[in-house]
Structure 1
Amino acid sequence: MSFLSFNHHKDLPLDKDPGTRFLPWLIAFMVYLAALSVIATSIMQSVSARWERGVNDTLTVQLPPAQSVGEDQERMAQSLKILRNHPAVVLAEPVAKSHVLSLLEPWLGDADTLAQMPVPHLINVSLRREVDMDAEALVVKLDQVAPGATMDDHRIWMDRLIRMSKTLEYGAYLVLSLICLASIGTVFFVTKTGLAIHHDVIEVLHLIGAQDSYIARQFAEHSLHMGLRGGMLGLAVAGPTFGGFAYLYRQVDSALLPQIDITIMQWIAVLALPFISALMGYLTARSAVLRSLKKMV
């Protein structure tokens, strides 16, 4: 009997193997974790980009409140003059007191209470990238017209936040890589177990003309189906998890957390995970079977 007589029916009862019952559940768990890792990576990328765009080349000058309204106005006018005359400054605009109160309200109470408190005056400053600025010298000048003036360079703490988000992003990539390796290892050992269980049947198939590629295809297609089934299950569980996280995120004050934008390509990457897991299972099983059968000859 030649190899051409073998069709795509299953000569190996792989569905009855003990490992077959657990493989879809293991793959489902792996795909679930992989989906969370992909979304976490996407969120870190979105947050980093938004933070960097939002405060790149900006700083805030803080002027302590004076004893009188007239003195406050004089300090503000002198400070704005110094800032606007600096070659590194593109724009210097005072922040409205109502806006300052709205920023403090979530932390210190309602606006009526805050109105009775001495609230510092803020100036938003935009800088030119191509011009270097001596922040310490500028603060000294501001302190001469507004004693106690301070400067918050957003780039300093923003760099720290971006480094932290990048670290978390790389951590998510590492977790995703470990998940892929664990999935490949799981399919490999399940396939090796199947080869051991069906050793006698495989020898009979060899005797009647079956080639190694035919046997490998049966294991590979079996792993493909298991990977696709488990991947779909894992993705189905990940969906409500994403929805729950999104709901909780929306309950937090929008002023405290940045808006998160996940692109279509990132969602496509998540939806492709079941097919990626199935393809990985197919290739892993096929490679494992072919290598093992060569040693059996």
Structure 2
Amino acid sequence: MANLPHPPADFLGLRTALSDRLLPLLVGAMAFLAALGIAGAEASASLAAHWQQDAAAALTIQVPDPQAQDAGNDATRLAAVLGALKTVPAAMNVAQLSPAAVNQLLSPWLGTDPADLGLPLPAVITAHWAGAGGVGALRAALQKLSPGTLVDTGALWTGRVAALTTSLQACAAAVLIIVALIGAAVVSVATHAGLAQRRETIVIVHELGAFDGDIASLIARRILRLTVTGALTGTALALPVLAWLARLAAPFAAPSLSTALLGLPAPLWAALPALPVLAAFIGWGTAQLTVRGWLRTLP
């Protein structure tokens, strides 16, 4: 009969004291939450970068009293502005909003038909700004042709999106720190429970001359296996959820994100494997500190 490999001897009874059920389950749940936190931070950064680029390039021109004569009495104010925009290479996709579209934009504040109020409504022109610099020169030129013309860019919204992104990333970082601290606490509690269950055996081994480091390493290796197993399981279970969330966010994402593997960006694929490594570090380090501190309390 062939000799079958035997599992390593469990002198301290750690397989019984440190169960392979509860601790991996808790660590897996925390790894799942950490994966969602990392994905949220990465998604907010990617989407914000995409939206900031679009918002910064958006150009809105408002021409008050559009049918009045321009400054040179050559044409209407609206025609002068449209003609000037056509000569600016950086102003692309120039289009005038129809009066119905302007009414629809103003209706939440001025009612279903703002024209009924007798207020002079400006003409609204939209464009895409492809210039490398700002729109100061364009604003000055349009003011000469049609005094009072307003030129707005998406700079204000770009700043707000950047602030929102920063706050979301800070929240995600806080979630990861909290998850790591809770993970360390869970490992510490589990280690203390195992030490209490095998106290007599550990005390005898310790009194026979076993070093604190040797005992701590035996227990830390057991904790290491349990935490890595739980973290791998939790990370794997997070993948289909992340893929589903990526599909929901695809219409708002850049094309490079929507065509990525499972819809997940490359930085996220690089970060997810770090979760089991981080869990191993937390499990090993917490177990070592807990066991060494407990051993120092022995008489």
Pairwise TM-score range, normalised by the shorter structure: 0.7 to 0.9
Pair 1:287–1:23, CA change in 2 (3 A)? same
Q: Which residue of 1 aligns with 2:290?
A: 288
1:258 aligns with 2:261: no
Q: Is the 8 A contact 1:61 1:124 kept in 2?
A: no
CA shift for structure 1 position 266: 3.1
Normalising by structure 2, report the TM-score.
Answer: 0.73
Q: Which runs of 4+ in 1 moved over 6 A?
A: 64-67, 134-139
**Alignment of structure 1 residues 91-106 onto 2, 5 Å:** 91-95=90-94
Question: Residue 296 of structure 1 aligns to a residue in which SS?
Answer: coil
For each residue in 1:166-218, what CA deviation from the matched residue of structure 2 results, as whole angstroms up to 9, or x when unmatched?
10111011001100000001101111121122111111112333211111012
**Alignment of structure 1 residues 1-297 onto 2, 5 Å:** 9-17=9-17, 20-56=20-56, 59-62=59-62, 73-78=79-84, 84=88, 91-95=90-94, 120-126=124-130, 129=133, 133=136, 140-141=143-144, 143-144=146-147, 149-250=149-250, 254=251, 257-259=252-254, 261=257, 263-297=265-299
Q: Is the 8 A contact 2:32 2:237 kept in 1?
A: yes
Question: Residue 11 of structure 2 aligns to a residue in which SS?
Answer: coil
Pair 1:242–1:64, CA change in 2 (3 A)? farther
Q: Is the 8 A contact 2:55 2:157 kept in 1?
A: no
Q: Is the 8 A contact 1:224 1:282 kept in 2?
A: yes
What is the alpha-carbon distance in structure 2 between the residues aligned to residue 124 and residue 65 of structure 1?
23
For each residue in 1:102-155, what CA deviation from the matched residue of structure 2 results, as whole angstroms up to 9, or x when unmatched?
xx9xx99xxxxxxxxxx94323335554x79399867755653xx8x5433211
CA shift for structure 1 position 230: 0.6
CA shift for structure 1 position 14: 2.2
For each residue in 1:201-244, what CA deviation from the matched residue of structure 2 results, as whole angstroms up to 9, or x when unmatched?
11111233321111101210111011011111101210110121
What is the alpha-carbon distance in structure 1 between the residues aligned to residue 127 and residue 248 of structure 2?
34
CA shift for structure 1 position 17: 3.0
For each residue in 1:8-27, what CA deviation from the matched residue of structure 2 results, as whole angstroms up to 9, or x when unmatched?
63212222237653111100
Number of equivalent positions: 259
Q: Which residue of 2 aligns with 1:115?
A: none
Question: Residue 272 of structure 2 aligns to a residue in which SS?
Answer: helix
Q: Is the 8 A contact 1:24 1:230 kept in 2?
A: yes
CA shift for structure 1 position 38: 0.8
Pair 1:219–1:211, CA change in 2 (3 A)? same
Q: Which residue of 2 aligns with 1:116?
A: none
What is the alpha-carbon distance in structure 1 between the residues aligned to residue 141 and residue 163 of structure 2?
27
State the identity as a percent.
26
CA shift for structure 1 position 46: 1.4
Q: Is the 8 A contact 1:62 1:123 kept in 2?
A: no
Aligned CA RMSD, in angstroms, stands at 3.5
